[in-house]
Structure 1
Amino acid sequence: MTQPITQPMTTGQSAPVRTVGPDHVARRLPGPLTALRWEVRKLRAQYRARAVLLVAVLAPVAIVVVIHGQSRPPKDTLFGRFAIDNGFALSLLVLGFASQWVLPLLTAIVAGDVFASEDQHGTWKTVLTRSTSRSRLFWAKTITAGAFATLVLVLLAVSTIASSWMIVGHQPLIGLSGQTIPAGTALQLVAASWAMMLPPMLAFTCLAILLSVWSRNPAVGIAAPVVLAMVMQLVGALGGVEAIRPFLVTTSFEAWHGLLTEPRFSGPLIEGLLVSGGWCVASLATAFVLLRRRDITGG
């Protein structure tokens, strides 16, 4: 039976003696949310994360202004033909570009560094001796990275749709089947199209986490997911790869096309959810095993 710990009282003190028993010690141990709050606090202090959020808000406005000021529309891109005169088409044009090159980069800037930074600064022993476990720390960092990716996507979507609406207009949209979509319905479909970017974006987030844990190098954790996204884009554009194309994360970025046809189809959306979920599970499971088996005695 554990004896209560009695704090000694120095000469001249008149304060009552406090007894700290086992129950009091247990109550002072950090709860499950402590590690999460700590990771969120560290992320909020990073200038890199603030810069990404600022870019997500301001960059779409600049892009909308530049495209709207062009004398000729970019006809070689999806919805580019109507981008100059239709705000919804311009929002979808930006969405198509962002899904190919921008979204994997924006999420990897934080997710690719969230674990590797501990190796870079040699702080593993410090963070793991603050009454927390590897499992708790792993999920705290993972949730923080996923929440950041979600926030970036929301800011990017809101900024793009709002600036396109105000600068270009909100005329009825011409869909992929040539049908006319009323403005109210078009707004809902454009917002839904942006929302459909979240599953593959989270898949790249988990992939960046895996590379961050495996490489222990922030540069690899950030750059490698972007390179892999480019490789997947190129492979998906090749002929004769129909068997593997559905399993590429980048293919899920195209699932929103089914919302703009008549009749609409949801097959690619379901496949995208399953594929993105599979990449998330595989990446996180591998990263978790690697972190659990890591020897952190060196720092």
Structure 2
Amino acid sequence: MTATMSRPATSRPTSVARGYRFELVKLFAQWRVRLLVLACWVAPGLFVAAVSLQSSLPVDTLFGRWMNVTGWAGSLVMLGFAGTYALPLLTSLVAGDVFAAEDRLGTWRHLLVAVRSYRRIFVAKALASLTVILVLVTGMAGSSALGGLLAVGNRSLVGLDGHLLAPADAAGKVLLAWLCVLAPTLALAGVGLLGSVALGRSPMGLLLPAVVAIAMALAQLLPLPVAVRLSLPSYAFISWEGLFTSPPQLGPLLISMAVGLVWAAVATALAYVLFLRRDFTSLADNSGRRGLVVGAAPLVGLVVVAFAAVAASTPSLGSGIERDKLQNSLATAFAHLYRLQAEQLHRPAVTEAQLGATATCTKGDGLVVPQGAGNDWRCVVSWHLPGVAATGQAIYQLDVTPDGRFMADGDGPKDVNGYYQVRTPAGDRPNPLWQFDGNVELLPA
């Protein structure tokens, strides 16, 4: 009788596609993720619609004063809130917990037996967390835009230099602004993956993206050199504002997006390396803080390299807020809004070239150097009307923030930039020259 020798059956590792579907099902099965999806797809629209119908608007928020004029302003207000609070929190709750959850539940051995590949586990988890984050961001963008459009309507949007964006142009710019903030969001997601791998079940792994985002947001409030601002990936949460000027201020936006994408790639790669080196034979959480320190060092190095590159390529060691640039921005915005006011008051049409608006600004009553942020800027805008010999003048008090945004508050004469209601086809609106926002490009033109 002949004995037949049977070879032991060999099993192949689970494919990335199957692992990805499995991780996606696990994430959406969590009540926390389901609640986040519901909140991101419903709450922004309800908030924007409710605020847009109020008489009191968040005028201290960028585009907040236009929320009852056009539906697109509400989505931009939500974008400003999301960049500061919502998106860092979402990345913490999703990417910051995708690996740590297995540590808390003690399910690494079961997962490794089922998948049999460290690399495929990491790729599947990273892709699943990225998918959930994209779903949440898409919900916030779509819901806020829909809420504003249903409450107010699809009307023109006033840009940061006072020029009108047609509804189609405004829609494209709003969509592009939401796409731009994906770069810093991915950077925080990479930090979340790194913290989740390095710190395991420790709560700090879950909080790491939010802590990093808060630290960078606080740094942006300080009077830092422009090169330092651009070397932080969080600046893309602010620099999208440059899309709403004519011509667009793309320099800071492109640099900050590139920094964010590099951060995302490096942080994810570091998390991958640390994950491959983990010892899963012990139930103890042996990842430790040493892995986080080793992973964080290259990210700090990225900030130094980005700072050196920006500082070497363009003059950016100052605040970027200079008197000439501020005067030009203010005069440009005033000229655009003067045309809008003339149209609303049914006055003869006039062009920006005919007005020839100029601005003269001082800081601190002329006792300090006229540069940098502060609420002690005082500017006088001058212009000429066709057929009128006298020169018109209007006074503005400016509050300039360290990131280049300014709010101009009219200080007379009242018939030009004082507060009064103007009747428009969309209802009574405040005088457009009374208070308005502007933006100074921090990098040289």
For normalisation by structure 1, the TM-score amounts to 0.88
1:58 corresponds to: 42
AA matched with 2:213: A
2:138 corresponds to: 154
Equivalent residue in structure 1 for 2:51, among 60, 67, 80: 67
2:94 corresponds to: 110
Deviations 1:178-225 (A, max 9, x none): 101111111111111112121111111111111111111263233221
Higher helix content, 1 or 2: 1
Q: How does 1:1-299 map to 2 (within 5 A)?
A: 5=6, 25=10, 29-217=13-201, 219-299=203-283
Structure 2: how far apart are the matches of 1:121 and 1:69?
47
Q: CA deviation at 1:241?
A: 4.0
Structure 2: how far apart are the matches of 1:164 and 1:234?
30
Percentage identity across paired residues of the two chains:
36
Deviations 1:139-194 (A, max 9, x none): 11111111111111111111111111111222111001110111111111111111
Q: CA deviation at 1:131?
A: 3.9
Structure 1: how far apart are the matches of 2:274 and 2:225?
32
Larger-Rg structure: 2
AA matched with 2:255: E
Q: Flag the 1:113–1:180 CA change in 2: closer, same or farther, 3 A.
A: same
Deviates more, 1:121-130 or 1:49-58: 121-130
Q: Flag the 1:46–1:252 CA change in 2: closer, same or farther, 3 A.
A: same
Report if aligned partners of 1:252, 1:273 keep a CA contact under 8 Å in 2: yes
2:298 corresponds to: none
Q: Flag the 1:166–1:131 CA change in 2: closer, same or farther, 3 A.
A: closer
Q: CA deviation at 1:4?
A: 6.2
Report if aligned partners of 1:107, 1:148 keep a CA contact under 8 Å in 2: no
Deviations 1:29-63 (A, max 9, x none): 53232221221121121111111100001111221
Q: Flag the 1:241–1:266 CA change in 2: closer, same or farther, 3 A.
A: closer
Structure 2: how far apart are the matches of 1:238 and 1:101?
18
Deviates more, 1:183-192 or 1:220-229: 220-229
AA matched with 1:194: W
Q: In structure 1, list runs of 5 or more residues that go unmatched.
A: 6-20
Structure 2: how far apart are the matches of 1:131 and 1:49?
24
Report if aligned partners of 1:215, 1:221 keep a CA contact under 8 Å in 2: yes
Report if aligned partners of 1:112, 1:218 keep a CA contact under 8 Å in 2: no
Q: CA deviation at 1:85?
A: 2.4
Report if aligned partners of 2:98, 2:196 keep a CA contact under 8 Å in 1: yes
AA matched with 1:238: L
Report if aligned partners of 1:176, 1:260 keep a CA contact under 8 Å in 2: yes
Q: CA deviation at 1:104?
A: 1.1
Q: Flag the 1:51–1:4 CA change in 2: closer, same or farther, 3 A.
A: farther
Report if aligned partners of 2:13, 2:117 keep a CA contact under 8 Å in 1: no
SS state of the match for residue 244, structure 1?
helix
Higher strand content, 1 or 2: 2
Structure with larger RCO (C-alpha < 8 A, sep 6+): 1
Q: In structure 2, list runs of 5 or more residues that go unmatched.
A: 284-445
Report if aligned partners of 1:210, 1:283 keep a CA contact under 8 Å in 2: yes
Report if aligned partners of 2:159, 2:245 keep a CA contact under 8 Å in 1: yes
Report if aligned partners of 2:40, 2:139 keep a CA contact under 8 Å in 1: yes
Report if aligned partners of 2:91, 2:133 keep a CA contact under 8 Å in 1: yes
AA matched with 2:14: P
Deviations 1:1-29 (A, max 9, x none): xx763xxxxxxxxxxxxxxx77x856x65
Report if aligned partners of 1:105, 1:222 keep a CA contact under 8 Å in 2: no
Count how many residue pairs are aligned between Structure 1 and Structure 2. 280
Structure 1: how far apart are the matches of 2:115 and 2:169?
52
